[in-house]
Structure 1
Amino acid sequence: MERLDKQGNYLAINWNDIEDSIDKATWEKLTEQFWLDTRIPLSNDLADWRTLSDADKDVVGKVFGGLTLLDTLQSQDGMSSLMADARTQEENAVLNNIQFMESVHAKSYSSIFSTLNTPKEIEEIFAWTNSNETLQYKAQKINDIYRHGKPLEKKVASVFLETFLFYSGFYTPLYWLGHNKLANVAEIIKLILRDESVHGTYIGYKFQLGFNELNAEEQENFKEWMYDLLYDLYANEEQYTHLLYDQVGWTEEVLTFLRYNANKALMNLGMDPLFPDTAEDVNPVVMNGISTTTSNHDFFSQVGNGYLLGNVEAMNDDDYLFRFDDDDQK
């Protein structure tokens, strides 16, 4: 993206002359659903927290530690790497918004920790997060692509992270929400999920613009790289899931959830699903945690007061999917 005209003048962004209408629609969507963790009464979950077993508490702490690490990666390295390859000035503005909200997400987990955990427990969670091999593997694998990958590779890494790798952590609060526990913690997760659905859809759309500019041979070579990356990340995610969930007996259910969301990541990128798992295969309690709200929406619908407690909008399959025909490209 050129920020200078032919005379070398720096170009002001002009939102009245939009190159890609999806940029404007995404900006409006993201700003309409702005939220902060300080608006959620997390202390109301303390009674529920005290009823959990030590193993359950251990899982909660570790999954949120892992999510903190991945959101830190997105906010500190991911979005800045994508900005270097933005097609429009408005896309840069959208990515700036996404970068800020990824920082809000990362901070939100610390708000959960400070409410539920002692200072010693928090220290232990972050020590585990910053040294666990399987968690560090996926963070470093994605970060290496951010630092050294090609523009389309960076977009694939971002979508795989936001629409797939996060979900081994999201399973836990959605599970407890389905069992009427930790409702305010889950409210934050639902707000994060709502953001991530837009992030993944938007970046996937930008990927499709670039991918469709490749010739047939280049597309096939790129698909091979992409699916190899997905298989590698899934193999590591299997290990991570066993490490977290064997102690509570949820491993197989979480892996089903992961495969389902891996398919969603591929759909965001305009690709066909890989795994046989569908929404019907996922634990219905967890799926209800995603979808139980007062209204459905599509990607461009109005949000209104959606960030308020108890009014988080539902995510549906359309939130993960933005495909377009050649005639739709601008």
Structure 2
Amino acid sequence: METYYKAINWNEIEDAIDKSTWEKLTEQFWLDTRIPLSNDLDDWRKLSAEEKDLVGKVFGGLTLLDTMQSQTGVEAIRADVRTPHEEAVLNNIQFMESVHAKSYSSIFSTLNTKSEIEEIFEWTNSNKYLQTKAKIINDIYENGTALQKKVASTYLETFLFYSGFFTPLYYLGNNKLANVAEIIKLIIRDESVHGTYIGYKFQLGFNELPEKEQESFREWMYDLLYQLYENEELYTKSLYDGVGWTEEVMTFLRYNANKALMNLGQDPLFPDSANDVNPIVMNGISTGTSNHDFFSQVGNGYLLGTVEAMQDDDYNYGLK
């Protein structure tokens, strides 16, 4: 009989990166309900009203981006998979993006009142810089080429999230909101793999283009990054000018923009390196374990010694 539908065979792998990424992501599996967020309430009560407002807004922004990634982002990339195993990896990524989006609501429900939560989402759904960021990326998801969609996704995963990640990492470095930050570290650990994997898949397609097409496409990539950076600078100023962190956040963003370009196999654009980033924040990115659920043996480290946050050289892991 003629084959109507093919079963996926994990014993015949066309691309070893599919298998290694699947294993890494499934080993890292976590849920927000396993992190004791209520332990941060004492720290939360000591924050100023301005700081509380900042935390709510950065998490609102992150919720929007993760919602978009789970609803349209992964779906846009799925249309151009090279292997059935790649589609399975994308299924995992899509689910975890939904976990990330839900996690912020768990933080809100712990720290904020109902009216405060409503205000956060009203701000999120109407902030012009945040909505511009979403529109730029989502327009590419809806109308771009397969390679353009991968670039947009990688910029989102490895660059645009980090204006929001700065805040909890900063507080963690100052021994505040440790459990909230633990969720963010788990999310960063996932996003590191997502950005690296999608960037690797981009490189496979990009390297197949004729040299002239590569040059034209590279110009489009950098133009897009400049466009996103200009909007991100305005977004960052609106969030951080009040607490005086804007310049430090922008340094962090430039560092991560370079990481996004590295994921895509391109040269860094900005001079900023890890040494330029606030060391308190850089230290927070490391994924040491601070909480454990000893019954199910999970927590930030998940007792899986082989699963670590992506290091600098891991941004080229798809080429190893």
Asked if residue 72 in structure 1 is aligned to residue 81 in structure 2, the reply is no
Q: 2:129 aligns with which of 127, 134, 143?
A: 134
Q: Percent identity?
A: 76
Structure 1 match to 2:26? 31
Q: 1:204 aligns with which of 199, 204, 207?
A: 199
Structure 2 match to 1:179? 174
Q: 2:211 aligns with which of 213, 216, 219?
A: 216
Contact residue 187 and residue 309 of structure 1 kept, 8 A: no
Asked if residue 151 in structure 1 is aligned to residue 150 in structure 2, the reply is no
Structure 1 match to 2:300? 307
Q: Gaps spanning 5+ residues in structure 1: where? A: 295-303
1:308 offset after TM fit, Å? 5.0
TM-score, normalised on structure 1? Answer: 0.91
Asked if residue 316 in structure 1 is aligned to residue 295 in structure 2, the reply is no
2-side partners of 1:273 and 1:86: how far apart?
A: 27
1:210 offset after TM fit, Å? 0.1
Query: SS in structure 1 opposite 2:317?
Result: coil
Contact residue 146 and residue 157 of structure 1 kept, 8 A: yes
Asked if residue 161 in structure 1 is aligned to residue 190 in structure 2, the reply is no
1:138 offset after TM fit, Å? 0.6
2-side partners of 1:20 and 1:91: how far apart?
A: 9
Contact residue 270 and residue 323 of structure 1 kept, 8 A: no
2-side partners of 1:211 and 1:288: how far apart?
A: 34
1:16 offset after TM fit, Å? 1.0
2-side partners of 1:260 and 1:310: how far apart?
A: 30
Alignment of 1:50-89 (within 5 A): 50-89=45-84
1-side partners of 2:245 and 2:286: how far apart?
A: 21
Asked if residue 243 in structure 1 is aligned to residue 242 in structure 2, the reply is no
Letter in structure 2 aligned against 1:119: K
Q: 2:224 aligns with which of 218, 225, 229?
A: 229
1:314 offset after TM fit, Å? 4.1
Letter in structure 1 aligned against 2:184: I
Q: Gaps spanning 5+ residues in structure 2: where? A: 290-296
- Write out per-residue CA displacement over residues 219-275 of structure 1, whole angstroms, 9 at most, x where no aligned residue: 000000000000000000000000000000000000000000000000000111100
Contact residue 170 and residue 280 of structure 2 kept, 8 A: yes
Structure 2 match to 1:276? 271
**Over aligned residues, Cα RMSD in angstroms?**
1.8
Query: SS in structure 2 opposite 1:43?
Result: helix
Contact residue 159 and residue 203 of structure 1 kept, 8 A: yes
1-side partners of 2:153 and 2:314: how far apart?
A: 16
2-side partners of 1:241 and 1:120: how far apart?
A: 25
1-side partners of 2:286 and 2:110: how far apart?
A: 26
Alignment of 1:41-52 (within 5 A): 41-52=36-47
Contact residue 37 and residue 188 of structure 1 kept, 8 A: yes
Q: 2:16 aligns with which of 14, 21, 44?
A: 21
Asked if residue 287 in structure 1 is aligned to residue 282 in structure 2, the reply is yes
Query: SS in structure 2 opposite 1:60?
Result: helix
Contact residue 83 and residue 95 of structure 1 kept, 8 A: yes
Asked if residue 114 in structure 1 is aligned to residue 109 in structure 2, the reply is yes
Count of paired positions: 311
TM-score, normalised on structure 2? Answer: 0.94
Alignment of 1:189-200 (within 5 A): 189-200=184-195
1-side partners of 2:310 and 2:85: how far apart?
A: 25
